[in-house]
Amino acid sequence: MISEQYKKFLSYVIYQVYPRSFNDTNGDGIGDINGVIEKLDYLKELGVNAIWLCPCYKSPNDDNGYDIADYRDIMDEFGTLDDVKRLISEMHKRDMKLIMDLVPNHTSSEHEWFKQSRMSKDNPYSDYYYWFDEPQNDWQSCFCGSAWEYDEQRGQYYLHSYAPSQPDLNWENPKVVKEIQDVVDFWVDLGVDGFRCDVIDQISKDWERNSNCFGPQLHDHIHALFGRDKVRHIFTVGECWAGDIDEIVRHSAYERGELSTLFQFDHLACGCTTKFRKKPESLKSVRDIIANWQTLNQERDLIHALFTDNHDNGRFISRMGNDGELRYESATCLAAMFYLLRGVPFIYQGQEFGLTNSHHDSIDEFDDIESVNIYKYFCENMTPEEAIEKINFGSRDNPRRPMSWTAGKNGGFSDAEPWMPLHSRYKEINLETDRNSEKSVFKFYRDILKIRRENDAILYGDFELVSKKEDGNFIFTRTYEGKRFIVICNFEEEAEISVETNGKIILSNYGRDIVSGTYRPYEVAIIEE
């Protein structure tokens, strides 16, 4: 049984925009809101009906917008609040939804609340952050170094789970809860349709268990944000790095009024021991992880967030697929593996034309705070060449480079020199070249999304795994009201696959027309019965 609310969400196909690198319309080398508006028809043509816009608020940009100085205003470089209003109205005209990025765990140190808070121990904002005379534990910042910073002005330490310029908000203070509720309401009143909630598992700390996430008040806090009648209808996806299944279920069961769904990262971790080191593991483990999630979500009427790429990881195709000779084949195979499942597809900019990792020889060509900090740390234990290799593999700048729309000047991203170096392969891998190619990843994505949109069996159908553990493939079925689809994705060099069916192949990436037989690497067949 699928609830009506979930049926609505299951029809979403969400495209993640990293605004800084998406499309520059005023020639300053930085992507902007008008640049997103300009590409709405393109996204519509792809088959997308919602956008998750990474933070575009006022920010000093230490963490590219995840350090917010004003939750209710737009970064000058990106445009104005009026531009965002226009974006919303242009999207709604096209029947598209806008999902904003909500960053509730921390602000920028430039935020008015922090400026006030650090002034004294007894001002109205003094308890908006976690202040102590001594560090309370040995928590580490995600961007290297201690998570506690001494502030001269106040003469105390404050907590920052990320950069020192990203102080953690104190959610134990009811005023903070109210402030973020108001931020949510502000954007909902403006017309936005949902939120992606940054590191949501961290807004309650578990001091007793010595953990900076999944604290005892987490559910209450999330419920305070999204369980209210006013916002109950919106779509919310939480970023959640912890993998406790019961927790996940409790967050995303509709009746609890918490989140619509959660990003889970275990399938990203299985290619790498850390984000920066590849592990020789195959797509089989990815299959097992996502198949488990499908079964669990189905049993409990939950929504699976279907994604491979985002702004925080190297490109999935470079981590888990073949980004060289078989780039088209593996890009399309990954699309079939993920986007015909039950859940909400998320596509990260550039993924729809098979963009890979980028390669750079010097750390000077990187911008991201995590990459730059960890590079220094790597260099303490290895040669610069080894360190840069790791950075090239795992850097968050891989997906953050200016979009390659064309093979022309600045990849068609901007008339001016872009804010950061272009992708190293933009002349070869760009939208224009892809669309003119016989093997077009874009066209395959468009076809997959059309199949999804037009078939209830793909939107709502039951999932069943056909492959056995030892098989080097992912074969699954989707069934709904007597109608069935079979999806075959082969991970091996060459494999004999035989499936009993009287159905027809409606899409494949090698031009295949007979279901059973020899499958080539990353070969896909989608069969309708």
Residue 12's Cβ-count burial label (10 Å; 0-12, 13-18, 19+) is: buried
Interface residue with Ca ion among 5, 11, 26, 298 (CB under 5 A) is 26
Residue 4's contacts (CB-CB under 8 Å, 6 or more residues apart) are none
Residue closer to ligand GLC by CB (options 103, 451) is 103
Using the CB atoms, write b or e for 121-132: b if 16+ within 10 Å. eeeebbbbbbbe
Q: Which of 62, 83, 149, 198 binds ligand GLC (CB under 6 A)?
A: 198
Residue ranges in 256-275 that form contacts with ligand GLC under rule CB under 6 A: none
Q: 26 or 285: whose CB is closer to Ca ion?
A: 26
> C-beta of 418: minimal distance to Ca ion in Å?
10
List 312, 367, 397, 434, residue binding ligand GLC (CB under 6 A): 312
- Binder of ligand GLC out of 22, 66, 413, 519 (CB under 6 A): 66
C-alpha to C-alpha distance for 397 and 436, rounded to whole angstroms: 27
Nearer to ligand GLC, 309 or 312 (CB): 312
Q: Where are the beta strands (DSSP E) in 383-499?
A: 462-465, 473-480, 483-490, 495-497
Give least dist CB 24 to Ca ion, A.
Answer: 4
Chain residue whose CB lies nearest ligand GLC? 66
Is residue 24 close enough to count as binding Ca ion by CB under 5 A?
yes
* DSSP assignments along 246-292, one per residue: HHHHHHH-GGG-S-SEEE--HHHHTTEEETTEE----HHHHHHHHHH
We find the least distance from the C-beta atom of residue 67 to ligand GLC, in angstroms, to be 7
Query: Which option in Ca ion, ligand GLC, none does residue 217 bind, with CB closer than 5 to 8 A by kind?
Result: none
User: Which of 10, 20, 21, 32: binder of Ca ion (CB under 5 A)?
Assistant: 32
CB of 162 to ligand GLC, least distance (A): 5
32 binds, among Ca ion, ligand GLC, none (CB under 5 to 8 A by kind): Ca ion
Shortest distance, CB of residue 76 to Ca ion, whole angstroms?
10
> How far is the CA of 311 from the CAs of 81, 325, 435, 470, in angstroms?
24, 25, 24, 33
CA atoms of 220 and 240, how far apart (whole Å):
16
Nearer to ligand GLC, 199 or 286 (CB): 199
> Which of Ca ion, ligand GLC, none sits in contact with 24, Cβ below 5 to 8 A by type?
Ca ion
Site string (136-175) toward ligand GLC, x via CB under 6 A = --------------------------x-------------
Catalytic residues: 198, 239
Question: Cβ distance 326 to 509 under 8 Å?
Answer: no
Should residue 367 be labelled a site residue for ligand GLC when binding is judged by CB under 6 A?
A: no
Closest residue by Cα to residue 25 from 13, 14, 46, 40: 40
For 110-128, the DSSP string reads TSHHHHHHTT-SSSTTTTS
28 binds Ca ion (CB under 5 A): yes
Beta-bridge mates of residue 77: none
Residue of 37, 199, 225, 489 interacting with ligand GLC (CB under 6 A): 199
Instruction: State the maximum Cα–Cα separation within the chain, in Å, rounded to a whole number.
Output: 75
Q: Are 50 and 382 in contact (CB under 8 A)?
A: no
DSSP 406-437: SSSGGGGS-SSPPSSPPPTTTTTS-HHHHHTS
Query: Is the CB of 56 or the CB of 177 nearer to Ca ion?
Result: 56
Question: Rounded CA gap, 483 and 444, in Å?
Answer: 23
Positions touching ligand GLC (CB under 6 A) are 63, 66, 103, 162, 198-199, 239, 311-312
Positions touching Ca ion (CB under 5 A) are 24, 26, 28, 30, 32
